[in-house]
Amino acid sequence: MRVQEFLRWGIGERQWSGRTLDVYAWRVRAADKWLRDQGHLGLPRATAPQVREWWDSLPPTPASRNLARKAACNYGCWLVAVGRRAECPAASLPVWRQKLGAPRPLPPAERRRVLALAAASCTTGGVAIVLMLRLGLRIGETTTLRWSDWDGGWLYVTGKGGKVRQVPTPPLVVRVLQRWRAVCPSATWILPSPHGGPLGTNTLRARCYGLAPHCPHAYRHSLATELLEESGDVRLVQEILGHASLSSTQVYTQVTPSRMASAMRTLYDEAA
């Protein structure tokens, strides 16, 4: 299957993250095994109907089917790019439409509590929580930050697809980073691993949980919701979060029960 060659292509041509590499490698190997178990020649030589047969055998959920489709399509694109196939056998796989669920930001009081705790801790977990909660970073973006990405006022964040966005660092973030830099064991990585290089996402996730019992992505949801409520500007939130599509940002415009209650209280107060 030459999976390692496929992954090297993904790094060079698509700038895949470590997490994406792991997921795609697992997916294409699983597809290849399934096809061989059915008596076919494996994924590199599979026909479009055979790939569809494999895809139809997967759990019937949008998340499972869409991720499998992405992995198979990218593998097919690689086969075409290196001249092993004339066309991608997975190109005709459909996309399962899935409705985005409502984000689950932290309540304001809990957000303030966690932020104060993280800002005071001066640990990798604390620094990461501050960056995610105040800048809206994904955990994968947080682990790959270098000190050279921060100039004191702006942080240059490499997001999905290798796209770099510029995010302003408010005073609290500046203070936390300045204090952390004085004790950080690495001159290169903001969140270094004890073994050199950046800290892994699973390790960082565990350290964040050690400070507060929240999914790290909830911090990104919290920042997005807070920004939208303060500014009402969906495009601004899109730029800060690094969403390629505005539809990804618009999920934060959903009306929540607490916002409805707040609006009603304001209405009643004005009427009184």
Indicate which residues carry an active-site annotation.
138, 160, 217, 220, 243, 252
Pair of tokens at residue 175: 């203070």
In order of 84, 139, 192, 203, 207, the CA distances from 200 in angstroms are: 34, 10, 9, 5, 11
Whether 148 and 90 have beta carbons less than 8 Å apart is answered as no
Long-range contacts of 60-67 (CB under 8 A, 24+ apart): 61/96, 62/96, 62/97, 62/98, 63/98, 65/96, 66/95, 66/96, 66/98, 67/23, 67/27
CA distance 197 to 143: 10
Question: Distance of alpha carbon 54 from its chain centroid, rounded?
Answer: 27
In order of 22, 200, 202, the CA distances from 220 in angstroms are: 23, 19, 17
Pair of tokens at residue 15: 């700038």
- Bridge-based pairing of strands 154-158 and 164-168 is antiparallel
Whether 56 and 13 have beta carbons less than 8 Å apart is answered as no
Amino acid at 74: N
